[in-house]
Structure 1
Amino acid sequence: MSTTTPEQPPGEGPGAHHDPVVSTSPDLEKMTNPESDKLDAGVFKIAGVVVLGAIMSILDITVVSVALPTFQNEFHVSPSMSAWSMTAYTLALATIIPVTGWAADRFGTKRLYLLALSLFVVGSVLCATAWDMPSLIAFRVLQGLGGGMLMPLGMTILTHAAGPHRVGRVMAVLGIPMLLGPIAGPILGGWLIESVSWHWIFLINLPIGIAALIYSFVVLPSDNPEPSESFDFKGMLMMSPGLALFLFGVSSIPGEGTVASAKVLIPAIVGLALIVVFVFHALRTKHPLIDLRLFANRNLTVAVIAMTLFSVAFMGASLLFPSYFLQVRGETTLAAGVLLAPQGIGAMITMPIAGMLADKIGPGKIVMGGVVVLAAGMFVFTQVGADTSYVLLLGALFVMGLGLGATMMPIMSAALASLTHEHVARGSTLMNIVQQAAGSIGTAVMSVVLTNQVLSHQFAGAAMASVDDPSIAKAIPPAALQQGFSEAASSFGTTFTVGLVLVILCIVPAILLPRKKATAPDGSETAAPAMMH
């Protein structure tokens, strides 16, 4: 990793990208003072900006998920057409993420963050005015272009503000909305749809977005970017559509019920081919869209492997928990969201502690402990039945939350803490791409495993369908219905076992994560990267 030495003017070191987000701001220089080991008021102000953006982006995914039946009735469309309101957002998000690292270097993080917020808010308002499904899908794409930039930009801004010695703690702050989103989303979405109308799941972003725009404009330091590289247009034509096509194919698996469908295979294979071609292109290009040379950093490579396994397991499990409560236990959407709250509470308890410890003793030991606790909680769900005690299930969710809080963001901080200042934007972009792709794969894998398990039982499918259709329940003998719910619970238990295996596999890369305090590229423990200008 190259850094700019004191004799080299900023931006003229080998491969350097001068990013004045740090170096031109006295306030931010103060924030990154290596002598200060605590998060000061300046860092917390910037963290507030980032958390607001993250809350909007993540909540929007989960809030809309509960509105799919409403869209079907409102616009008179099929379930698969309604699901495009989710897919379009995800694909737009995946398309824009690869460009974010270059754009942050080129235009500055503050300008780009304000643009991302604006796109997201405008897209949200337009979604609320949608008159049919195609218009809603188009407006969701615009919203996704803004939402896709918010998380990688937020990580870049926070990492620059805190320096490597405090990155664990600021990642813990950013991790709270990432964990609470899947829990608060269904509760908020269900309440808004039942109490007001579906339009408000989008309009609620307007006041939050305006507040975030004003807050960002005031708090974030001014940009004065001096980019030293050109845009990799060829790389964008390969990576962005390649990633979008691959994720479209993967996300089509649950609806098709098989990997062998043309709707799955064709886009997935074409997308994967484009990504492979991009890899060869990136390794031969001086300034690629995504800098794959970052994998020369051992900590980042290990963290990517750990994040991949974790995201597949966690995102897949996040789909299973509410589905179990809704389809096996017959709970309402609102009640299912409330029942998931212990997981968020557990995560909120351990996340700040894990962030602080990761900064002091390295993330390796913290992630190892978090994975073990997470696996212990998930084991309970591998044994789940149709009438398992809620006390046991909520206790297991709380334990899982404790593990989640000590796992996800320490992995992210392990990847970013040892990168030079000029590589942070590219590193956070890379980690977000990995997280997005792995999450989509996890959701698809768990959906297919669950579907196949349900189909392998005689009455499981009918029992789950009877929850929403009382006429089915009347047509099935009570004994068969009870057997169906037991079979459905067993299907969920088997699927959770797949998630548990993936969680346990996280132990392997966790062993290789750093087990000492983060160091900057110059070898110091507390100096912010590439800032001794």
Structure 2
Amino acid sequence: MADTTTGTSATARLDPDVRKLGIVIVVGAVTATLDMTMVAVVLADLTRAFRAPVTTVQWVSTAYLLAIATVIPATGRLVERFGTRAMWLFALSAFLVGSALCGLAWSVGSLIAFRALQGVGGGMIVPLSIMIMIRAVEPGQRGRVMALVAMPAQVAPIMGPLIGGMIVDSGSWRWIFYVNVPICLFALVLAWRRIPGDAPSAAGGRWLDVTGLALLAPALALTDYGLSAGARRLPLLAGGIVLLAVFTARSLRSRDVAPLLNLRLFTHRPFSAASMLNFLSRLSIFGVVILVPLYFQEVRGYSALRAGLLLAPQSLGTALALPYVGRLTDRIGARPVVLAGIALSMLSALTFTQVNAHTNEVVIGVALLVWGTGVAAVAVPVSAAAYEELAPTDIPGATSAIMTVQTVGASVGAATLAAILQSRLAHHRDAPATAFADTFWWVLGFTALTLIPALLLPLRRAAAVQARP
């Protein structure tokens, strides 16, 4: 009977109520995903508005990412305690308040602080959207539901820079954040009416590891700040590393409270290899997301809108490659596909190391297209390989850990490459294009490092795994 039900649900149309719920979730999720990509084209305007260096302004992105990395592991525990509907309303409210305060920011310091608050809400939105929709349908319909939930993430890299560019060119950078307010209000009204109430699932059960959270948040912040500030802030970097070590030791030894992150998963070779690859690849990917718009605006003098338009080939490359990458991974396994993706990314990064003030836009566009293809060829197989041979009970913890590693990698990449760019700009005061070319050599080096964990990925065909008794 179960098989029949599953087969029927796999071919049946989604219930109208589920489709309406999906629309409600997409309206809420699109704010967080678009905001992250819209901010990428406004960094140059912020450096001028606040008369602050790149190393400081990049914390507008880094603070948001660090907040996300901190709240993702806590989201599951909070859902167990308060329910998905309550946490969804809280996440949207935190994002709304954070957005409004970002628009009112009077200094770069206040903007960074308000971005962290915004990140608390934004970091919860994506995992919550998955939880709500997965619970709303039968197993046989989860594929279509996940495609619906993933829509904002697919649209954001293309639409975010374009929308952000239009807003900045026609008004003020503050409207990058103000635009979220009416959308969040609309999403809150829809959520209040459409998302069904649910009872907490852990009344008196497992509770949030508050001590682990108190260690992880400052550990990540101090480590990132130490990396971005260079030798002048080595004590802060050391402090961050010490706190990370304490967090790790406590998580591995904890018995009374479920740890914030299940670090024992990293003893599993496919998972640890995929995590390392996720960290290193996000480090270089997010570096390019920051560097390329800055290059167009600071070296070429382009508007935010034009810079956003010129970023489109990267997203196009990823979108075109995704279907083929999935099929190849199923046929020949993760490792060869990932190695091919790294080769494409390195070729693209090598092209960026040769940029100058007059590099042909077509050359840059092709390099971004190739880069986007490489990103897809790395991301999809790594996501699949991370869960290989894990027990079903380990999947939620593995998802939290992977998302945290990805976000930390992106924040470290932003901090590190911004510091390198600032150093090279000081060295090449009269040749900013050379400073960007020098910084892209570091992107190439970080991309090359991903070869190490890539060689540790499983080398087997999907068919072989399925045939195993």
TM-score band (shorter)?
0.7 to 0.9
Report whether the alignment pairs 1:205 with 2:180: yes
5 Å-filtered alignment, 1:444-463, equals 444-456=415-427, 460-463=428-431
Secondary structure of residue in 2 paired with 1:493: helix
Alpha-carbon spacing, 1:40–1:413, altered in 2? closer, same or farther (3 Å): farther
Q: Return 43-52 or 100-109, whichever deviates more.
A: 43-52
In the alignment, is the contact (CA less than 8 A) between 1:159 and 1:416 conserved in 2? no
Stretches of structure 1 lacking an aligned partner (at least 5 in a row) = 1-28, 254-258, 465-487, 526-533
Secondary structure of residue in 1 paired with 2:429: helix
Shift of 1:146: 0.5
Normalised by the length of structure 2, the TM-score is 0.80
Alignment partner, residue 256 of structure 1: none
Shift of 1:142: 2.5
Distance 2:94 2:390 in 1: 29
Alpha-carbon spacing, 1:352–1:62, altered in 2? closer, same or farther (3 Å): same
In the alignment, is the contact (CA less than 8 A) between 1:102 and 1:426 conserved in 2? no
Alpha-carbon spacing, 1:498–1:518, altered in 2? closer, same or farther (3 Å): farther
Shift of 1:246: 2.0
Alpha-carbon spacing, 1:137–1:239, altered in 2? closer, same or farther (3 Å): closer
Report whether the alignment pairs 1:325 with 2:302: no
In the alignment, is the contact (CA less than 8 A) between 1:311 and 1:439 conserved in 2? yes
Report whether the alignment pairs 1:115 with 2:90: yes
Alpha-carbon spacing, 1:373–1:307, altered in 2? closer, same or farther (3 Å): same
| Partner amino acid, structure 2, of 1:321 | V
Alpha-carbon spacing, 1:166–1:418, altered in 2? closer, same or farther (3 Å): farther
5 Å-filtered alignment, 1:123-522, equals 123-130=98-105, 136-154=111-129, 177-178=152-153, 181=156, 184-213=159-188, 223-227=198-202, 228-250=205-227, 252-253=228-229, 259-261=230-232, 264-286=233-255, 287-355=258-326, 358=329, 362-416=333-387, 419-456=390-427, 460-464=428-432, 488-489=433-434, 491-514=435-458, 515-517=460-462
In the alignment, is the contact (CA less than 8 A) between 1:381 and 1:496 conserved in 2? yes
Normalised by the length of structure 1, the TM-score is 0.72
Alignment partner, residue 64 of structure 2: 89
Stretches of structure 2 lacking an aligned partner (at least 5 in a row) = none
Shift of 1:326: 2.4
| Partner amino acid, structure 2, of 1:506 | T
Q: Return 437-446 or 62-71, whichever deviates more.
A: 62-71
Shift of 1:155: 5.5
Secondary structure of residue in 2 paired with 1:407: helix
In the alignment, is the contact (CA less than 8 A) between 1:116 and 1:149 conserved in 2? yes
Distance 1:396 1:48 in 2: 35
Q: Higher helix proportion, which one?
A: 2
Q: Return 429-438 or 40-49, whichever deviates more.
A: 40-49
Give CA-to-partner distance per residue, 1:455-503, whole Å, 9 cap, x none.
55xxx42243xxxxxxxxxxxxxxxxxxxxxxx34x4334323322332
Q: Return 118-127 or 150-159, whichever deviates more.
A: 150-159
Identity %: 38
Q: CA RMSD in A?
A: 4.1
Alpha-carbon spacing, 1:294–1:223, altered in 2? closer, same or farther (3 Å): farther
In the alignment, is the contact (CA less than 8 A) between 1:172 and 1:409 conserved in 2? no
Alpha-carbon spacing, 1:493–1:463, altered in 2? closer, same or farther (3 Å): closer
